[in-house]
Amino acid sequence: MPNDDILATVADLFTLLRHRRIKYVLVGGIALLQYVQGRNTEDIDLIMTVAALKKLPEITLGDQSLYFARGTYRSLQIDFLLTRNPLFSHVQQKHATQQTFAEQTIMCATVEGLLLLKLYALPSLYRQGDFARVGLDENDVATLLYYHRPDTDALTTTLAQYLSAPDLQAVEETLQEIRKRIARFQHGD
C-alpha cells in the first residue's frame, strides 16, 4: 500500500476509535515516528482490551492468542497487544500520552512505554532466533536511548515485575551493550 494510502487509512481508523470511544494506545513503528525519524512500517500496533476489539466489526480478525491478535482494517494490518498481558496493561495505564497524528489527537505510548515493550520482547526474540526482528528492536531501543536519554534503571525496575530473572538479565546485558555502542558513537571511536 502506498504511504499516503496507509496514512489515510490509519487516520480513518483513529477517527473510528474516537467515535466508538475505544481506549487504545498506539505502539510500534508508527508510534516510534513520533519520537525518531527514519522508521518504516507497513502496519499499526495498538494496545487494547479484548472487549474493545469486539466493538470493531470493521476489523477482520485473523490470528488471536491470549496476549496478541492480528487483524485488518481495509488493507491495513493491525497487531493488537491485548491488556490481558500485565505489562501491556501497565503501558496503557502509565505510559501513554496525547500526540498529534494526521491532524488528530491520538493516544501514543511514551518513549518509556515503547522501550518497555521493545525490551520485554527481546528475550523471546533471542530464544526464537529471530535475528531480523532482534536487529530492528535493538536499533529502536538504541535510537530512543540516544535521542531521549530515559532512566534505564527505572525501566529495568519496572521490567523486573514482568520478566523472569534470566530474561531480565538478558535485557540488562543488551542495555549495557547499547550504552557502549552509544558511547563509541558519541566519542567517535
pLDDT tens digit sequence for 5-23: 878 898 999 999 999 999 9
Domain(s) of CATH 3.30.460.40: residues in the chain = 3-109
Q: Over 50: is that where the pLDDT of 46 sits? A: yes
Whole-angstrom distance, CA of residue 66 vs CA of residue 4: 33
Quick one: DSSP state of residue 58?
Answer: T
Alpha-carbon distance of 77 to 121, in angstroms, equals 20
Query: Over the stretch 121-136, which tens digit does the pLDDT of each residue have?
Result: 999 999 999 999 999 9
Its pTM surpasses 0.85: yes
Model confidence at 41: pLDDT above 80: no
Is the pLDDT assigned to residue 189 strictly greater than 80? no
- ∠ CA(167), CA(37), CA(15), 5° rounding? 90
CATH 3.30.930.10 fits 3-109, yes or no: no
- Look up residue 44 and give its DSSP letter: E
The answer to whether residue 1 scores a pLDDT higher than 60 is no
